[in-house]
Every structure is written in structure tokens, then in C-alpha cells.
């Protein structure tokens, strides 16, 4: 498998707190890679570095073997990395299609003035959602009227429209019920089927086991292990997270 | 059905009100009176368009009326010191635009909340207007070409009304049909999400407040041309009236959201109401009371419409 993203020796300090102390991460193209760890292990800091929200104090990030340095999330996006935050980053009162095209609306120049192509955007939005097997008929519906799973689908559709190859999903199932969670797991599987690489941060071990191919476990700002999740149970994974490095060799 | 009522209920009520006045208010239906109503609505609508732009980006502009008064006395002062009317008009527009830009910079660069920033600039503008005039009004002889801005007619329609329609149409076009309009709306509704999607949210807020000032400048020029006088607090009454028009507008067409079509119809309804009440012989204080009820009622209605919309679609 070829590596699409790697982080080597990442350090990050916030004042007196050292969030990351030499964390490593290696993600293969086309896999769903979970980042696990207890609170304070450094998961969200590591993700922030990859998403371009923060810059590392030391360490390197490589995308497809090329070292990158992100000043802001737009840089990360240009490198093909999109982040779906826990709050999804959607405008609740705006329409589905407006959210999918937010900030990169389709328009045509008429006498020098950019005019929106609403029909084309609605059609495009419907197509992207259909590729995810997510059926929504009325593209003018506000996002706040959708279910949690559907909202997640809209956020993913936007990431896909940005041509992101690596999609970071931060706690996508945290606030969802059983049915909604199933829908999100299905969406993540769809993403993998389409060849996208997914970085998944989740506290829910059952979700991680259900959908991820591999996991990297963080503890105290360091990656203690990376392992394939084939045949690993949720309980075993939870134990590894709590025990940290102790069981690496056996795992 | 519910959706139709939510979208068009207010506009239809306004139409009903108009018909009642046509039938029962003496002289309301005379062409001269209808023209007066439309002229009054024109000033309101221009101010309201500006306020709509600011509110669309989720910023309040409480200074537009004071800035308009300052722009008006600037126009009066220049015309009375024998400056060309073109320069006076340009100066009036510039005072409005610069005032709005200043508001925008206070809000985006110095991070003063718009409620406070515009209250402050309103007071500064009022003070400056008194300074320019020494407290008196500019009246007397005015350049005929200047007065024609408001009073001149094309095919029997006053310029004032044509200019108002042009401003409303352009504003509607920008907010509904251009990426800029969507970006302003997204900035107002979900600033964080809009910013993360690459929208220059600060610039949108700056633009919203600047346009509010620019509209106030335009309205001021037309006010002076229409009344052939310029006084330091001449636009004061438009503050709450224009805000009421915008809030009333938020109960129409795109419920819960500032929208130009709504602001325009809101301005029409308020002008009709004010005129009709006078013709019905209603006491002068009733207007203020009605205005307060409309401001509070509109916000109440659009808030509840918004809540329902979220769950019923």
C-alpha cells in the first residue's frame, strides 16, 4: 500500500502545556484510518496540524511524499485535505445546495457581473449526494431541517466538491443516535469505495471497529502504536487505549 | 398553505390595508396623495435597502439617519457656498459612504460591536452636522438642476421614484443572484462556517455597513432636493421607520431573513399606513405607537416562523 500522508516527530506546545511530543502518523491511500486515544492524548492537536489550523513547533508533514507547510486551512485544502469538524461547518438556515457550494459557487459572467447558476448548483449537489447513495430530493431545503446523518452527507459532499482526497472527520457520530450513526458509517464506507482516504477521530470504539481499517493510538502526545484492526474487538481496542504502549508487541 | 401564509401573509395584509384606505379614507385615492405616499416610501425604501445589507451580514447600523442628516447639511452648505451641484451631490454621497466605511472599520478592525460603534458614530455625525450649520437650516435658493434630481419627471414619473426603483432593483439583484449576496448572507447566518469555507467574512461586514452608509448618502441628497432645505436632524425620523420596514420585510418572502423585496414592501406598507392614519384623522401619537408595535411584532413573528420552518419542512 502506498502512503499518502505522514507526520514525523510532531511537537506542539500551548504555553506550558505540551500537547504533542514527537507524534508520528502514517496513513495509506484509500484506507479509513482511526486516530484513537484518551482525552488529552493529542488527537485534536495532531488533526489541527494536518488540517492547517495550527502549525507544528517541530516535525514534518508529507502529503504523497512531498513535505508541506500549511499556513491556514485553505492551504491544506489546496493539498487535497478537507476537514469535517464536529459542528460540520454548515450554515443551518441555508439550502442544501448553497451549503455544498458555499464559498465556491458556480457562476457565469454576464456583462462583467458574476451571476449565480442556481440550477446547475442544484443539479450538481444532487449528483454528488447521489454518488454517496444519499437521496435528498429538495435541494432548497435548509440544512437545519435535515437529520444528523443527512447533514453529515452534506458536509461530505462539500468536501468531495473541493476534490479532497483526504477527508478528516472529527467525531462524526458523537451527537448521533443509533440509526444516524449507522448512516454515517455507511457514508464513510462509501467514501472508501470511491477511493478517498479518511482520517477518523472517534471516542466510539464500536464505530471505529465497524469502519476503520487501521488505527493509530496516541498517548501523552506520542503515537504508541499503529495497527491493523482486522480481528480486533472494540474491547481490546479500548484496553489498548487505556493501557497505552504496554500491549504493542502482542498487538 | 402554511408556507404561503408565512411568505406572503404580511404583503397581502398590506394590500388589504391599501384597499381599505382606497375605499374609506377620504382623498387617499387622489393621484396627488398616492404620489406623496410613493415619495415617502421612496426615502424609506432607500434607507431600508442600506440597513438590509448591514443586517444581512448580521450587523446593526443605528447611525444611518444621523449620517444622512450630516450628508444633507454638507450638500446644503456646499450649494450655498456656490459650489457646483454635481460636486455637492458627490460630497453628499461621499459623506454617507465614508461614514458607513468608518462604521465597518470600527466593527471589523477594532472589533467594537456594531450596536455600540454605530451609536457612537451617530452622535459624532449629529454633532458635526450642528457644527457645520451652526444649528440652523439651509433654505432659500437652490440650483434648479439639483432640485430636478428629486422633482424632475420622466414620462410623468418623478426622478426620485425612478432612482428608488433602480436602487431597490440593483440591491435585489446583488443579494439574490450573485455570489457576493450569498457570501454576505452566509456571513450573517454562520460566520464561522462561512470563514472556514473561504469567504472573506470581515470584508462582507465592512461592505454591508459601507453600503448602509452609501444608501443614507443617496437618500440625503434626494431629501434635500425634494424639500429644498437641509437641517441638522432632518433624517432623524427615518431611523426607526426604516428599521421597522426591514423588520416587517423579514416576515415576508424569505421569512426570518433580511431581504430586499421584503424591505421594499415593508417601506410601502409603512408609508401607506402613516398616510392613511392621518387621513382617517387618527391622533398624531398613534403613529409612534403603531411603529413600536410593528417593530416588536415583526421580530416576534419572524422568530416564530423561523422556529417552525426548521421543524416543518
Rounded Cα gap, residues A195 and A30, in angstroms: 5
Taking an 8 Å cut-off on Cβ atoms, the answer to whether A103 and B194 are in contact is yes
ipTM score of the complex? Answer: 0.83
**Would you say residue B298 has pLDDT above 60?**
yes
Q: Which helix (H) or strand (E) holds A91?
A: none
pLDDT value for B311 = 44
Give the phi and the psi of residue B19 in degrees, each rounded to 5: -65, -40
What digits encode the pLDDT tens for the residues B302-312?
A: 776 655 544 43
Taking an 8 Å cut-off on Cβ atoms, the answer to whether A91 and B310 are in contact is no
Distance from CA of B182 to the nearest CA of A (A): 8
Mark the ranges of chain A whose per-residue pLDDT is less than 70: 1, 244-251
pLDDT value for A156 = 87
What does each C-alpha distance from B104 to A66, A123, A200, B121 come to in angstroms? 42, 37, 40, 11
A1-80+165-251 CATH fold = Rossmann fold (3.40.50)
What digits encode the pLDDT tens for the residues A14-43?
A: 888 888 898 899 999 999 999 988 888 888
What digits encode the pLDDT tens for the residues B187-238?
A: 999 998 898 888 999 999 999 999 999 999 999 999 999 988 888 888 888 9
For residue A104, list chain B residues with Cβ-Cβ distance below 8 A.
Answer: 197-198
Rounded Cα gap, residues A152 and B147, in angstroms: 58
**Would you say residue B264 has pLDDT above 50?**
yes
Rounded Cα gap, residues A147 and A108, in angstroms: 33
Q: Where are the domains of chain A?
A: 1-80+165-251, 92-164
- DSSP letters for A43-87: HHHHHHHHHTSS--SEEEEEETTEEE--SSHHHHHHTTEEEE-TT
Query: A124-138, A237-251, B16-30, B284-298: lowest mean pLDDT where?
Result: A237-251
Q: What percent of chain B clears pLDDT 70, i.e. is strictly above it? A: 96
Nearest to B313 among A85, A89, A142 (CB): A142
Average pLDDT across chain B, whole number: 90
pLDDT value for B306 = 57
Q: What is the mean pLDDT of residues B270-295?
A: 88
pLDDT value for A26 = 92
Nearest to B179 among A87, A105, A144 (CB): A105
Q: What is the mean pLDDT of residues B169-198?
A: 93
- DSSP letters for B4-21: HHHHHHHHHHHHHHHHHH
Q: What is the mean pLDDT of residues B140-162?
A: 86
Distance from CA of A59 to the nearest CA of B (A): 25
Q: Where are the domains of chain B?
A: 2-19+27-312
Residues 6+ apart with CB under 8 A from B242: B44, B47, B48, B51, B64, B65, B267
Distance from CA of A239 to the nearest CA of B (A): 36
Is the minimum CB–CB distance between B58 and chain A shorter than 8 Å? no
pLDDT value for B152 = 87
For residue A114, list chain B residues with Cβ-Cβ distance below 8 A.
Answer: 178-180
E strand segments, chain B? 153-154, 157-158
How distant is the alpha carbon of residue A131 from its chain centre? 18
Residues 6+ apart with CB under 8 A from A153: A129, A132, A134, A136, A183, A187
For residue A105, list chain B residues with Cβ-Cβ distance below 8 A.
Answer: 179, 182
pLDDT value for B254 = 86
Distance from CA of A63 to the nearest CA of B (A): 21
Rounded Cα gap, residues B296 and A83, in angstroms: 41
Distance from CA of B209 to the nearest CA of A (A): 21
Nearest to A94 among B177, B186, B198 (CB): B186
User: DSSP class of residue A203?
Assistant: S
pLDDT value for B308 = 53
Provide the 10 A C-beta neighbour count for residue B206: 21
Nearest to A103 among B185, B198, B310 (CB): B198
Taking an 8 Å cut-off on Cβ atoms, the answer to whether B309 and A94 are in contact is no
Is the minimum CB–CB distance between B190 and chain A shorter than 8 Å? yes
pLDDT value for A172 = 87
B2-19+27-312 CATH fold = ABC transporter involved in vitamin B12 uptake, BtuC (1.10.3470)
Nearest to B193 among A90, A144, A145 (CB): A90
Q: Counting beta carbons within 10 angstroms of the beta carbon of residue A163, is it exposed (0 to 12), middle (13 to 18) or buried (19 or more)?
A: exposed
Nearest to A102 among B178, B194, B256 (CB): B194
Distance from CA of B284 to the nearest CA of A (A): 40
Amino acid at each position: 500500500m502506498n502512503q499518502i500522508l505522514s507526520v514525523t516527530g510532531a511537537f506542539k506546545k500551548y504555553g506550558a502545556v505540551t500537547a504533542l511530543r514527537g507524534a508520528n502518523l502514517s496513513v495509506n491511500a484509500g484506507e479509513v484510518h482511526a486516530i484513537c486515544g484518551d482525552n488529552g492524548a493529542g488527537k485534536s492537536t495532531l488533526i489541527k496540524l494536518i488540517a492547517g489550523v495550527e502549525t507544528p513547533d517541530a516535525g514534518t508533514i508529507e502529503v504523497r511524499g512531498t513535505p508541506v507547510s500549511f499556513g491556514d486551512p485553505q492551504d491544506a485544502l489546496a493539498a487535497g485535505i478537507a476537514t469535517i469538524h464536529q459542528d460540520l461547518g454548515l450554515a443551518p438556515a441555508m439550502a442544501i445546495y448553497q451549503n455544498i457550494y458555499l464559498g465556491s459557487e458556480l457562476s457565469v459572467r454576464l456583462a462583467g457581473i458574476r451571476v449565480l447558476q442556481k440550477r446547475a448548483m442544484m443539479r450538481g449537489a444532487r449528483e454528488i449526494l447521489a454518488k454517496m447513495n444519499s437521496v435528498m430530493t429538495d435541494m432548497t431545503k435548509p440544512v437545519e431541517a435535515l437529520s444528523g446523518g443527512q447533514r453529515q452527507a452534506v458536509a461530505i459532499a462539500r468536501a468531495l466538491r473541493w476534490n479532497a482526497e483526504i477527508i478528516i472527520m472529527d467525531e462524526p457520530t458523537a451527537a448521533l443516535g443509533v440509526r444516524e450513526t449507522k448512516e454515517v458509517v455507511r457514508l464513510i464506507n462509501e467514501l472508501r469505495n470511491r477511493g478517498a482516504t479518511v482520517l477518523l477521530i472517534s471516542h466510539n470504539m464500536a464505530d471505529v471497529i465497524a469502519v476503520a481499517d487501521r488505527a493509530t493510538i496516541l498517548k501523552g502526545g506520542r503515537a504508541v502504536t499503529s495497527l491493523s484492526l482486522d480481528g480486533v474487538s472494540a474491547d481490546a481496542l479500548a484496553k489498548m487505549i487505556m493501557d497505552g504502549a504496554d500491549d504493542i508487541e502482542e498487538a | 398553505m402554511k408556507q404561503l401564509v408565512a411568505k406572503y401573509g404580511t404583503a397581502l395584509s398590506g394590500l388589504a390595508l391599501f384597499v381599505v384606505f382606497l375605499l374609506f379614507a377620504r382623498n387617499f385615492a387622489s393621484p396627488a396623495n398616492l404620489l406623496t405616499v410613493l415619495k415617502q416610501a421612496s426615502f424609506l425604501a432607500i434607507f431600508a435597502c442600506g440597513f438590509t445589507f448591514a443586517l444581512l451580514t448580521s450587523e446593526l447600523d443605528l447611525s444611518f439617519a444621523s449620517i444622512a442628516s450630516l450628508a444633507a447639511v454638507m450638500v446644503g452648505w456646499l450649494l450655498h457656498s456656490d459650489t457646483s451641484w454635481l460636486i455637492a451631490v458627490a460630497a453628499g454621497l461621499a459623506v454617507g459612504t465614508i461614514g458607513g466605511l468608518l462604521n465597518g472599520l470600527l466593527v471589523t478592525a477594532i472589533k467594537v460591536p456594531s450596536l455600540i460603534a454605530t451609536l457612537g458614530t451617530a452622535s459624532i455625525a449629529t454633532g458635526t452636522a450642528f457644527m457645520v450649520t451652526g444649528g440652523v437650516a439651509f433654505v432659500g435658493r437652490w440650483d434648479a438642476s439639483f432640485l430636478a434630481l428629486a422633482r424632475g419627471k420622466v414620462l410623468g414619473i418623478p426622478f426620485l421614484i425612478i432612482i428608488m426603483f433602480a436602487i431597490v432593483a440593483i440591491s435585489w439583484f446583488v443579494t439574490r443572484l450573485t455570489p457576493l449576496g450569498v457570501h454576505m448572507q452566509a456571513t450573517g447566518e454562520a460566520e464561522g462556517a462561512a470563514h472556514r469555507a473561504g469567504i472573506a467574512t470581515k470584508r462582507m461586514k465592512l461592505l454591508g455597513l459601507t453600503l448602509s452608509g452609501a444608501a443614507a448618502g443617496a437618500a440625503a441628497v434626494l431629501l434635500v432636493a425634494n424639500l429644498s432645505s437641509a437641517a441638522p436632524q432632518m433624517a432623524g425620523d427615518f431611523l426607526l421607520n426604516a428599521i421597522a420596514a426591514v423588520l416587517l420585510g423579514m416576515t415576508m418572502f424569505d421569512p426570518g431573513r433580511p431581504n430586499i423585496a421584503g424591505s421594499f414592501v415593508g417601506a410601502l406598507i409603512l408609508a401607506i399606513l402613516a398616510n392613511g392614519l392621518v387621513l382617517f384623522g387618527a391622533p398624531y401619537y398613534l403613529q409612534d405607537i403603531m411603529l413600536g408595535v410593528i417593530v416588536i411584532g415583526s421580530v416576534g413573528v419572524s422568530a416564530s416562523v423561523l422556529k417552525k420552518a426548521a421543524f416543518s419542512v
